[in-house]
C-alpha cells in the first residue's frame, strides 16, 4: 500500500512537471493524457507510451 502511494505521488510529480514545462494547468494535462489513453484504449500511462510508439504517435 505504501509503495502504491509513493508511486502515485511520483506520477503526480511527473504530471506537474509536464504542466510546468508546457506552461499550462495540471488539470489540462490530466485531461489531455486521459483523452490520449482513451484513444489508445489503454488503462495506464505506461501502456500509453507503448501504444503511442506502436501507433507511430511518437517519432523515432
Domain membership of residue 60 (yes or no) is: no
Residue 4 has pLDDT above 70, yes or no: no
Tell me how crowded residue 58 is: count the other CB atoms within 10 A of its CB: 11
Tell me what pLDDT residue 13 has: 79
Q: What is the mean pLDDT of the chain?
A: 86
Q: Which domain holds residue 50?
A: 2-54
Q: Among 58, 17, 21, which Cα is nearest to 36's? A: 58
Residue 1 has pLDDT above 80, yes or no: no
- Reported as type and span, the H/E element at residue 45 is helix 45-54
Q: Which residue has the higher pLDDT, 25 or 12?
A: 25
Q: Which residues make Cβ contacts (< 8 Å) with residue 43, sequence separation at least 6?
A: 37
Q: Is 32 exposed, middle or buried (0-12, 13-18, 19+ CB in 10 A)?
A: middle
> Each residue of 27-59: pLDDT tens digit?
999 999 999 999 999 999 999 999 999 999 988
Number of domains observed in the structure of the chain: 1
Domain membership of residue 59 (yes or no) is: no
Domain membership of residue 30 (yes or no) is: yes
The pTM assigned to this predicted structure is 0.76
Amino acid at each position: 500500500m505504501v509503495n502504491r502511494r509513493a508511486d502515485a505521488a511520483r506520477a503526480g510529480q511527473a504530471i506537474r512537471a509536464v504542466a510546468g514545462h508546457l506552461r499550462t494547468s495540471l488539470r489540462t494535462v490530466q485531461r489531455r493524457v486521459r483523452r490520449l489513453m482513451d484513444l489508445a484504449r489503454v488503462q495506464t500511462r505506461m501502456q500509453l507510451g507503448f501504444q503511442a510508439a506502436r501507433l507511430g504517435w511518437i517519432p523515432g
